C-alpha cells in the first residue's frame, strides 16, 4: 500500500526544518551545564529534564482552557497549587492559579488588587514598591491603568526601608509589593515590618504582594546561616494577601510555569475574566491567556513529584554550597566587591571603590570578558535615584549544577578581572555619540527623541548593531549608553535594539 503523499512531503520538509533548528540552537549558549549564570535554572540532573520532556509529550495537544473537558488540567493544577501552598505555609483559605510565568502571576496580582479596591483603570490607583522590584510591576501598571509609585532604596546596600514604603501608602494605594528576594542584588525586602504597618494603620483591602518568583521554591529550603534568623516573608504573615513563585526557576521545570497564591476566594477570583455576553460558549479565564498549553504545567507537576521534598532540599543544598564557594572566591578578586545580599542564590558584584583607580574592575567590562572565556554573566546598569545612584553591577544566578563548575567559574572570573583591571569605564557605541552629546548640550531634548518616527529610531540602532567592528565588543557599550540616557529615551532605544535583532 502506498503511503500518503502529504505525509511523505511533511516528513521530508519536517526533517529539513529540524536540521535548521539544530543549527540555530548551535549558535546559542548551552542551557545546561552551568555556563550561563542568568535566565536558566539547571538542576544538573539530565534525567529530570528527560522526565519533563516525557511529561510534556503526554500533555501535548491538551487545551488548558477548560478543565471541565480535560480533567487532567484540574488534577495537575490543583496538585501544583497544593504543593506550593504547603511550601509557603498557606492554609486552606489560600487559593492558587497556575500561570505562564512570573510576569503573568504579578500582573494578575495587580489586577486583583485593583478590582478588590474597586478602582477603575486610569483613576489614579497606585502600586507602591521599591525601585528594585521586578519590572513586571511597572509593566502591570502600564497595562492596567495604574500608577507605579517607586520607593528609593539605600544606594549602598540596595535595601528598602519599611518606613519609607509605608509612608508612600495613601488613599490611592491598591497594592504594596515586596521582593523575596530582589533580582538585582538578592536582598529580601522587609515584608514582616510592612505587613505590621499595613495592619496597624491602613485599609485592610490594600493588598500586600510578595514577589517570590525567584525565591519561592529555593528560600524555604535554604540553610540558615549560623546565628542569623531568616527574615519572614511568606504566608505565615497573615497580612500578606498574595505571593508569586515560579516553577521554571528553582522548581526546575521547563519555561513557562508559575503559581499565584491569593488569600481568600474573593481576591483569588478578582482577576478572573468571565462572560456569557456573546453567542458562543461560556468564557471563564483565570489567566490572561484563553487557550493555553498544558505541557509546561504537566512537566512542572511531574518534576515536583519526582523530586519530592527530599530531592528539592538536596538541590537547594548544592546551590547553597556553590554560592558560598563563589562568594569567597569572588570576594578575593582585587578590584571587585560583592554587594550586600541576604541568604539565597543571587550574587551581584560592583567596582571595589576602596582600591586605587588603576586596580579597579568595571563589572560590565568584566562580564563581557567572562563571556569571551565561556561563562555568561549578566550586566546591570547603574540606577539613578535622589538618595544616590545604585552602582553598575553584574549579576550571577547560582543553580545546583553550579557546584560542578565553581573551580572553572572562578578561574574565568580571575582571568577576566586581570584582563580588564584598571581600564576606563566603557563608553557608549559611536553610533549613539551624537544623540548623547546633543542631549547633554541641550540641543536635543528627551521629548525630541521620543517624537522621532520609529523608522528613524530603527536606523539609529541598526547603526549601533552594525557599526562596531571590534570583535571584543559586548553589552558593556550598550549599557554605558543606557546609563547616560534619560530613562524614557533609554527604554525606547532598547526596545528598538531588540526589535532590530529580530526583524527582517
pLDDT tens-digit series, residues 174-191: 999 999 999 999 999 999
Of 79-83, 198-202, 365-369, 413-417, the one with minimum mean pLDDT is 198-202
- On the question of a cis peptide bond just before residue 256, with omega within 30 degrees of 0, the verdict is yes
Tell me the per-residue pLDDT of 13-23, one tens digit each, with 9 for 90 and over.
999 999 999 99
Query: Which residues does 109 contact at the CB level (< 8 Å), separation at least 6?
Result: 140, 175, 207, 209, 242, 244, 260, 262, 271
Q: Span 96-108, mean pLDDT?
A: 97
Distance (Å, rounded) from C-alpha 326 to C-alpha 342? Answer: 15
Q: Three-state DSSP class for 376?
A: strand
pLDDT score of 440 = 85
Q: At what angle do helices 406-420 and 295-331 cross, to 10 degrees?
A: 60
Q: Span 359-368, mean pLDDT?
A: 97
Structural Rg of the chain based on CA atoms = 24
Confidence of residue 2 (pLDDT cuts 50, 70, 90): low
Q: Which helix (H) or strand (E) holds 293?
A: none
Q: Span 31-43, mean pLDDT?
A: 92
Is pLDDT at 469 greater than 90 in this prediction? no
Enter the pTM of the model.
0.93
Residue with cell 471541565: 68
Confidence of residue 1 (pLDDT cuts 50, 70, 90): very low
User: Which string of DSSP letters, residue by residue, matches 324-365?
Assistant: HHHHHHHHTSTTEEEPP--SSSEEEEEE-TTS-GGG---HHH
Is pLDDT at 361 greater than 90 in this prediction? yes
Q: Which helix (H) or strand (E) holds 129?
A: strand 126-130
Is pLDDT at 471 greater than 80 in this prediction? no
Tell me the per-residue pLDDT of 308-360, one tens digit each, with 9 for 90 and over.
999 999 999 999 999 999 999 999 999 999 999 999 999 999 999 999 999 99
Q: Which domains does the chain have, with CATH numbers?
A: 54-304 (3.40.640.10), 430-502 (no CATH)
Closest CA to 194 of 215, 169, 216: 169
Q: Write down the mean pLDDT value for the chain.
A: 93
457 is written with which cell numbers? 529610531
Distance (Å, rounded) from C-alpha 269 to C-alpha 263? Answer: 10
Is pLDDT at 429 greater than 90 in this prediction? no
Q: Three-state DSSP class for 63?
A: strand
Closest CA to 38 of 412, 348, 376: 376
Confidence of residue 231 (pLDDT cuts 50, 70, 90): confident
Is the Cβ–Cβ distance between 464 and 428 less than 8 Å?
A: no
pLDDT score of 437 = 86
pLDDT score of 367 = 97
456 is written with which cell numbers? 528613524
Amino acid at each position: 500500500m502506498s503511503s500518503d503523499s502529504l505525509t511523505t512531503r511533511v516528513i521530508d520538509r519536517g526533517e529539513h526544518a529540524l536540521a535548521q533548528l539544530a543549527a540555530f540552537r548551535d549558535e546559542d549558549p548551552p542551557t545546561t551545564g552551568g555556563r550561563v549564570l542568568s535566565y536558566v535554572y539547571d538542576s544538573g540532573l539530565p534525567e529530570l529534564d528527560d522526565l519533563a520532556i516525557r511529561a510534556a509529550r503526554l500533555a501535548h495537544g491538551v487545551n488548558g482552557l477548560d478543565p471541565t473537558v480535560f480533567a487532567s488540567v484540574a488534577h495537575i493544577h490543583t496538585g501544583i497549587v497544593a504543593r506550593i501552598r504547603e511550601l509557603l505555609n498557606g492554609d486552606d483559605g489560600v487559593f492558587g492559579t497556575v500561570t505562564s510565568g512570573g510576569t503573568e502571576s504579578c500582573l494578575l496580582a495587580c489586577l486583583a488588587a485593583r478590582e478588590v479596591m474597586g478602582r477603575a483603570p486610569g483613576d489614579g490607583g497606585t502600586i507602591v514598591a521599591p525601585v528594585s522590584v521586578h519590572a513586571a510591576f511597572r509593566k502591570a501598571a502600564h497595562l492596567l491603568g495604574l500608577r507605579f509609585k517607586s520607593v528609593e532604596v539605600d544606594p549602598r546596600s540596595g535595601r528598602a526601608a519599611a518606613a519609607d514604603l509605608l509612608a508612600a501608602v495613601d488613599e490611592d494605594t491598591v497594592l504594596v509589593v515586596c521582593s523575596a528576594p530582589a533580582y538585582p542584588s538578592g536582598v529580601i525586602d522587609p515584608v514582616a515590618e510592612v505587613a505590621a504597618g499595613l495592619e496597624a494603620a491602613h485599609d485592610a483591602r490594600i493588598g500586600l504582594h510578595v514577589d517570590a518568583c525567584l525565591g519561592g521554591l529555593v528560600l524555604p529550603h535554604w540553610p540558615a546561616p549560623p546565628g542569623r534568623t531568616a527574615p519572614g516573608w511568606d504566608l505565615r504573615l497573615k497580612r500578606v494577601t498574595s505571593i508569586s513563585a515560579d516553577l521554571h526557576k528553582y522548581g526546575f521545570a521547563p519555561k513557562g510555569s508559575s503559581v499565584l497564591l491569593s488569600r481568600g476566594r474573593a481576591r483569588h477570583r478578582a482577576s478572573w475574566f468571565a462572560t456569557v455576553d456573546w453567542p458562543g460558549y461560556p468564557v471563564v479565564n483565570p489567566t490572561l491567556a484563553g487557550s493555553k498549553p498544558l505541557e509546561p504545567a504537566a512537566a512542572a507537576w511531574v518534576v515536583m513529584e519526582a523530586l519530592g521534598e527530599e530531592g528539592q532540599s538536596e538541590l537547594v543544598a548544592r546551590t547553597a554550597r556553590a554560592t558560598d564557594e563563589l562568594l569567597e572566591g569572588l570576594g578575593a578578586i582585587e578590584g571587585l566587591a560583592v554587594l550586600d545580599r541576604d541568604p539565597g542564590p543571587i550574587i551581584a558584584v560592583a567596582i571595589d571603590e576602596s582600591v586605587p583607580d588603576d586596580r579597579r574592575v568595571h563589572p560590565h567590562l568584566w562580564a563581557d570578558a567572562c563571556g569571551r572565556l565561556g561563562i555568561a554573566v549578566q550586566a546591570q546598569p547603574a540606577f539613578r535615584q535622589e538618595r544616590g545612584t545604585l552602582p553598575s553591577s553584574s549579576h550571577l544566578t547560582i543553580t545546583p549544577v553550579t557546584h560542578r563548575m565553581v573551580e572553572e567559574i572562578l578561574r574565568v572570573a580571575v582571568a577576566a578581572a586581570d584582563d580588564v583591571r584598571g581600564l576606563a569605564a566603557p563608553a557608549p557605541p559611536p553610533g549613539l555619540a551624537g544623540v548623547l552629546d546633543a542631549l547633554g548640550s541641550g540641543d536635543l531634548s528627551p521629548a525630541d527623541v521620543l517624537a522621532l518616527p520609529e523608522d528613524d529610531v530603527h536606523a539609529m540602532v541598526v547603526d549601533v548593531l552594525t557599526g562596531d567592528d571590534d570583535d571584543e565588543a559586548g553589552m558593556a557599550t550598550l549599557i554605558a549608553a543606557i546609563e547616560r540616557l534619560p530613562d524614557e529615551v533609554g527604554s525606547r532605544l532598547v526596545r528598538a535594539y531588540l526589535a532590530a535583532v529580530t526583524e527582517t
